[in-house]
Structure 1
């Protein structure tokens, strides 16, 4: 057996443990792409992947505005671990639980699983933080199981569709815009009002005014009443003439209204990184990564620790497409490190470039896109970016989660 043959045999006999925290776009992308690299016939690598998440499956976060407006779509938007076909392999393990701590020096994670009062240790060779941002209700469901999520979503849908008085959505960022528009398009009989504190929607995003004004026009075209320069002062529950609970709402400009429901879409999302050492994070709690997706040099064993997706401190607006790309880069670079150790091959790292501001925004029956190439909007943009299911099929097939098609 030649030296290369011996090296390949050694590679096949050596098993690497990879722990991926987060079963969303970036974590799943990392898992699928790493398996693809390790399965290559010319240089197979034995790998055991553990995917950890608080939920019992994959939730299509982009679809939240529709999942919380249409019960049929709610069923589709959450897929349990066991139904992610491409990852049903002996060397892939799903764990539902909380990640309490990651110790880069000892390469060990502390995990608390449901039903267990005592946390356990999970050793790994490589770690990927893809835990994303923690978003509050009703931006995303708070349930951790599909069964409870369907109950949570169903209760919300019943509440926002069963009254003649308007539903008020507060917050004109991407989430508020999409929630208001999806609710109106899905349930045309419901009066929907979107209130925003500034004079333009998407006011916190680094986008041109033309795009922000277009977003406002699309909201109105889809039948939503738009209140700009309306900052919520207070809302309190009162009884209407029929004895039902409604909200008496007042804005700081003196405008008052009655709403059947008040949907808050203004809360600031926080990174899910409390389990990481402080030296890996910036002041906002995002992971400081190098262009290779690796932790900064001041962290022990930084070369074996990666982060990707919404949790990283990087340029650009947080988007699903970027998250999947970053997860792939992390996987490719981990594979390069494995080959370096097994075959003595100098690693050829993939590097993440600066990401300019860009956005794809679904607004009811139409959509808006804006990026370096300019702005576009209309039904054709909706079809290209989201199809008819807020991007579920596009993401599912891009990640090959349904397995390899014949």
Structure 2
């Protein structure tokens, strides 16, 4: 730890700042930072910290807003906020590094970071490490750019391409991403014909949800003006020129159905955990991170496992991957790191927050409507949209929940 001295009783006193390294600056990573700072700032017993947040992007990107960010230029501007423009984290004990963590030496508590844009390597020592890099998702599930300026251009090109479509835009994949992408595109560009193709008999087929939820998702998608093709697995897409010399795609499905599409958008995420920097002993076969209910690494083969945390979509835990769960886990990790600091300084036995099993739950935005499913069953309609997403796919809700605009008394 960062402690310098110990009293005769063994209780620490007079400490240097604790160094916390957070890999990933999205929902869970920012939740760790904000909640930890809030606890360490208490007047009664302030604890000095130095927090470093490493991210491939140069800002916070509202991932669940991607379906709208890739349909609306004005929303795209809002969905990505440079880290330097997040008020609550503009303080001398917080810094951001634009780059990636390539390796974590848990025994020596040193991480290797590759910085952008020059790819220079640096070693960063820490007292506590938090893995919150999430899942690596493909385009167009999320933008692939690492800088806001490039992302806006990436989004603009995509939006222009679909807005100028002369034939249907085909969205392939009837999971949550595909449904929301198709519905938002139709909502923002009502003159564009949008078709959603899914390989199974029901939408949301990969999720452990009851059939009435999946049937409701279909109803809401069709109400949004999207044509839905179920049991349509994509076989091929061939670029050709139409009668006006414009490139379109001849699309064929495995059931023999054919169509012409102006754009084919793959909304099948094929997401994989972004965990290559962690020790193999910390990971499952599918490369998710095994954690205790305290969010600390669970493997007894990893050195200093109690000082290493993992939160968000990359952990091996129950429940559907959701923004709300990621922020909740980040909060618990921040509070638990604070408990370990108190143990080190004052000799107090830590009282940890422990993550419970998470049952299947979902919030799905579908045009002007939304559906939710959880412990109270299923609800859907415009009021559900207001509760869960408001009019910006939850950006304001997340911003305020994470207190990114500042912590209010």
Deviation at 1:15, TM superposition (A): 1.3
- 1:92 paired with 2:72, answer no
Deviation at 1:98, TM superposition (A): 1.4
Which whole-Å deviations, capped at 9, do the CAs of 1:324-376 have from their partners, x for residues lacking one? 00001101110000000100111001100000000000001000001121001
2:334 counterpart SS class: helix
The answer for the alignment partner of 1:237 in structure 2 is: 239
Deviation at 1:405, TM superposition (A): 4.9
1:11–1:44: 8 Å Cα contact kept in structure 2? no
In structure 1, distance between residues paired with 2:61 and 2:49:
26
In structure 1, distance between residues paired with 2:54 and 2:8:
34
Deviation at 1:298, TM superposition (A): 2.2
Deviation at 1:57, TM superposition (A): 0.5
Deviation at 1:267, TM superposition (A): 3.2
2:75 counterpart SS class: helix
1:97 counterpart SS class: strand
Deviation at 1:11, TM superposition (A): 5.2
In structure 2, distance between residues paired with 1:220 and 1:388:
20
In structure 2, distance between residues paired with 1:95 and 1:117:
12
Deviation at 1:10, TM superposition (A): 6.4
1:160 counterpart SS class: helix
Alignment of 1:4-43 (within 5 A): 13-43=15-45
In structure 2, distance between residues paired with 1:265 and 1:79:
24
Which one of 309, 312, 327 corresponds to residue 312 of structure 2?
309
Alignment of 1:359-374 (within 5 A): 359-374=362-377
- 1:50 paired with 2:52, answer yes
In structure 2, distance between residues paired with 1:11 and 1:217:
62
2:12–2:344: 8 Å Cα contact kept in structure 1? no
The answer for the alignment partner of 2:291 in structure 1 is: 289
The answer for the alignment partner of 2:197 in structure 1 is: 195
2:38 counterpart SS class: helix
In structure 2, distance between residues paired with 1:218 and 1:273:
36
The answer for the alignment partner of 1:82 in structure 2 is: 84
Q: Which runs of 5+ in 1 are unaligned?
A: none
Deviation at 1:268, TM superposition (A): 1.2
The answer for the alignment partner of 1:69 in structure 2 is: 71
The answer for the alignment partner of 1:358 in structure 2 is: 361
Alignment of 1:124-139 (within 5 A): 124-139=126-141
* TM-score, structure 1 normalization: 0.97
Deviation at 1:116, TM superposition (A): 3.1
In structure 1, distance between residues paired with 2:231 and 2:48:
58
In structure 2, distance between residues paired with 1:344 and 1:10:
7
1:74 counterpart SS class: helix
Indicate how the Cα distance of structure 1 residues 159 and 215 shifts in structure 2: closer, same or farther if over 3 A, else same: same
2:318 counterpart SS class: coil
2:39 counterpart SS class: helix
The answer for the alignment partner of 1:327 in structure 2 is: 330
Deviation at 1:163, TM superposition (A): 1.6
Count of residue pairs brought into register by the alignment = 401
The answer for the alignment partner of 1:141 in structure 2 is: 143
Indicate how the Cα distance of structure 1 residues 250 and 290 shifts in structure 2: closer, same or farther if over 3 A, else same: same
The answer for the alignment partner of 1:222 in structure 2 is: 224
The answer for the alignment partner of 1:376 in structure 2 is: 379
The answer for the alignment partner of 2:281 in structure 1 is: 279
Q: Which runs of 5+ in 2 are unaligned?
A: 1-6
In structure 2, distance between residues paired with 1:154 and 1:215:
28
2:370 counterpart SS class: strand
* TM-score, structure 2 normalization: 0.96
Which whole-Å deviations, capped at 9, do the CAs of 1:18-42 have from their partners, x for residues lacking one? 0001100000000000000101111
2:12–2:347: 8 Å Cα contact kept in structure 1? no
1:180–1:193: 8 Å Cα contact kept in structure 2? yes
Deviation at 1:164, TM superposition (A): 2.1
1:170–1:262: 8 Å Cα contact kept in structure 2? yes
The answer for the alignment partner of 1:397 in structure 2 is: 400
In structure 1, distance between residues paired with 2:384 and 2:204:
18
In structure 2, distance between residues paired with 1:12 and 1:366:
55
In structure 1, distance between residues paired with 2:25 and 2:185:
27
The answer for the alignment partner of 2:345 in structure 1 is: 342
